[in-house]
Amino acid sequence: MEDNIPKFDLPVDFIVGNSITGEILNQYGRFPCKIKAGIFVLCVQGTVHATVNLTEFTIRKNDFVTLPPGCFIQIHEVSDDVKLCFAGFSSVFVSHINYIKTITNYLPVIFDSPIMPLPEHISLLYQQAFDLLINAYSMPKTIENKEIIKAIFTIFMQGVIELYRNHTPYSNAPMTRNMEICREFVQLAMENYTKEHSVSYYAKRLNITLQHFCYVIKKVSGRTALDILSNIIIMDAKAQLKSTDMPVKKIAFALGFDNLSFFNKYFRQHVGMTPQEYRES
């Protein structure tokens, strides 16, 4: 089962299970991991302290976690008694499903609040659904039928939409224009950080002045737009340095840096060591 845990992606279209332990999860706490697959998790017992994208969370019993492709996660601490149900869909499979169109109105709130606390009776229903899928997964040729997997994925996505639509605080939370700008910026940054490192680019994309853009992001998030953008870039750099043998120069180019020397300086400024020193640490 350890080989099936999605570190970056999944080797098959679909996996489901309930045997992830704290011991296994703690192996993923050394550095951020970029998830290319689509992952859904229900915490049945125990706690997990983790950073998802740019925010730290404590995941507890009855919390449902949604990780769309492109999310970053770093696990900091896991209780010994943790038990999680999970379902994952590979990036190759998800790329053939227009899931963005289905959840486009909910992506910002899912990005901001990927952990949804469920009422006890709803959590029990999801546990039963996971048990059913786990039993079905063991049947011959189930995972070879892409139409069945597509249907399972659709059920998960529709279920997530209903959760965010019907349960507080997401259904009734007022959305100010400043909050919309901040969420749109983070979504744009996640989509474009490997190509665009300039804050002015994102202000222009949002059709507002640079001064107003910087003011809004700082007011809503408590961080500067440049800090948010830098955190995303550094998370990806750390993930690649620790999880691949790719040369540092190639990682730098993949993240939009034309100059290796500048990437080294940029990384040292934010991490306190060079990329190579971080890789060897």
Lookup: tokens for 199? 């804050």
The pLDDT value given to residue 120: 94
CA distance 115 to 135: 26
The pLDDT value given to residue 173: 55
CA distances from 31 to 155, 216, 270 (A): 32, 30, 15
Confidence tier at 142 by pLDDT (50, 70, 90):
low
CA distances from 64 to 1, 167, 260 (A): 21, 12, 41
- DSSP characters for 44-108? EES-EEEEETTEEEEE-TTEEEEE-TTEEEEEEEE-TT-EEEEEEE-HHHHHTS-HHHHHTTTHH
Which stretch, 8-17, 141-150, 202-211, has highest mean pLDDT?
A: 202-211
CA distance 206 to 22: 42
The pLDDT of residue 26 is above 80:
no
Confidence tier at 169 by pLDDT (50, 70, 90):
low
Confidence tier at 190 by pLDDT (50, 70, 90):
confident
Confidence tier at 170 by pLDDT (50, 70, 90):
low
- With tokens 């840096």, the residue in question is 257
Q: What's the chain's length in residues?
A: 281
Question: What average pLDDT does range 106-133 have in this prediction?
Answer: 87
The pLDDT value given to residue 64: 95
The pLDDT value given to residue 2: 39
The pLDDT of residue 5 is above 60:
no
Confidence tier at 158 by pLDDT (50, 70, 90):
confident
pLDDT tens for residues 195-254? 999 999 999 999 999 999 999 999 888 889 999 999 889 988 988 888 788 999 999 999
CA distance 84 to 17: 8
Confidence tier at 11 by pLDDT (50, 70, 90):
confident
CA distance 281 to 278: 5
What pTM, to 2 d.p., does this model score?
Answer: 0.74
